[in-house]
Amino acid sequence: MILLAGATGLVGGLVLGLVHDAIPVTRRPIVGHPGVVADFDDLPPLPPASVAVCALGTTRAKAGSDAAFRAVDMQAVLAFASAAQSAGAVHFILVSSVGADPKSRLLYPRTKGEVEAALERMHFARLDILQPGLLIGPRAERRPVEALLQRLVPLLNPILPAAMGSLPAAAVAHAIVALSTQGAPGVFRHDNRAIHRLAGRGFA
């Protein structure tokens, strides 16, 4: 049993399609996938589960303000983590980002880094943090700048550091499924190369 936040997004939606017993935790219902429907600032007790996956995320442009961005990418993530831990989750898997750094001057990497640090302080038995580069795949919402980058960055992959290049969102989803079966305790960070290895040959 896996609790899944972010199931309406690019990576989360793919995970939902791969894991038959995933319980989505969303702000709006998903047809064919009964789960928990609630605002993340007022989550009810969640169903018991040992593994929780968080693929929540937005952009500053879509959110409309710094505060609104952090409400999703930090406050909602940590609210879900706390509720999942209360429901018995001992293994937490987070989709973060390459460059996450709590000391960064930039909002996006700083927020990602602060969330990672906060999750470490929650002392899950196992914490997996995926730090992919630009994700390639169709999104439900329009992100014009990201759509342009999705076309350009793959062309630059041969000259970019491996951790900075793009990779298919499906590779991240398959890596999450592989990680969900891991039991060794500790904190583990996974860059593009590690994500590719976890996902398997189909995404090499």
Catalytic residue numbers? Answer: 108, 112
Which sign does the torsion angle of CA 171, 95, 112, 38 carry?
Answer: positive
The DSSP bridge partners found for residue 179 are none
Cα separations in angstroms, 25 against 8, 21, 53, 84, 148: 10, 13, 10, 10, 30
CA distance 117 to 64: 25
Q: Among residues 185, 172, 200, which one has the least CA distance to residue 95?
A: 172
- The two tokens of residue 122 are 């929650």
The strand pairing partners of 40, in sequence order, are none
CA torsion 143→155→189→20, rounded to 10°? 60
User: Residue 86 and residue 48: Cα distance in Å, rounded?
Assistant: 9
Q: How far apart are CA 13 and CA 18, in angstroms?
A: 9
